[in-house]
Amino acid sequence: MTGFDHLGFLGFDTFGTVVDWRSGVARSAAPFLDRHGIGVDPFAFADEWRALYQPAMEEVRSGRRPWVRLDVLNGENLRTVLARHGVAVDELPDRELADLNQAWERLDPWPDSVEGLTRLKRRFAIGPLSNGHLAGMMRLARFGGLPWDVIVGAEIARSYKPTPETYLRSAEAVGLPPERVGMVAAHNDDLKAARACGLRTVFVRRPHEHGPAQTTDLAPAERWDVVVDSLTEAANALGCP
């Protein structure tokens, strides 16, 4: 496709774009909630946990807090959500909390993801350009069969998207200028920040990322370079066999 012929790397938002975080977190949370008598719907629990994601990262982005990995933030947020529901968190076994926190590493790919990534990989180097930490991204890839070439993103940059450093240092890490990198995401804000850094943009609609009542990112907010409904459609649009 014109404009993508010179690209050497496609970076992918992962949580929501490549994998279904909501269903996976709810699946891991359900037996934990049941075992401890916590009367919260597992999907509502996943939503509540995820709602703390951006505020926690903003503490780091703003400089109010030194760099810490996403698994640390997720673990702190988990304890916050449990405490909100009257759970005596300090009385829970650490191993149970750690295992539930690793729910973010046991997320199913969307049905089109593995096939689409496999095809895109035939033409481009590919990898997560995610806020996830390296070890978590590795384990998530092994869980879901995601065929990454490399892992870049927040831990490489020691900064969280959508700060420019996350995109620019990721491009530098794969040895390419920003104009030879594409960002693939289901989130308009992610693509807006990537475009401002010189990256090409691919918007993938994921209308059920946040469940059946989703109201955000249902349509492209700008004229992204490519707009598709799946990663297999992205492979078609970018001329990948």
- In eight-state DSSP terms, residue 194 is H
**What Rg, from alpha-carbon coordinates, does the chain have?**
18
Domain C-terminal end among 74, 105, 136 = 105
| 220 belongs to a structural domain | yes
Confidence grade of residue 34 (pLDDT, cut at 50, 70, 90): very high
Q: Could you report the per-residue pLDDT of 129-187, keeping only the tens digit for each?
A: 999 999 999 999 999 999 999 999 999 999 999 999 999 999 999 999 999 999 999 99
Mean pLDDT across the chain, nearest whole number?
97
pLDDT at residue 1, rounded to an integer = 52
What percent of the chain has pLDDT above 90? 98
Beta bridge partners of 201: 183
Q: Domain ends where: 105, 134, 154?
A: 105
Question: Domain containing 51 — which CATH number?
Answer: 1.10.150.240
Q: Which residues contact 143 (CB under 8 A, 6 or more apart)?
A: 105, 106, 107
Residue 150 sits in a domain whose CATH number is 3.40.50.1000
pLDDT surpasses 70 at 71? yes
Tell me: do 161 and 54 sit in the same domain: no
Total-model pTM = 0.97
> Are residues 189 and 100 part of one domain?
no
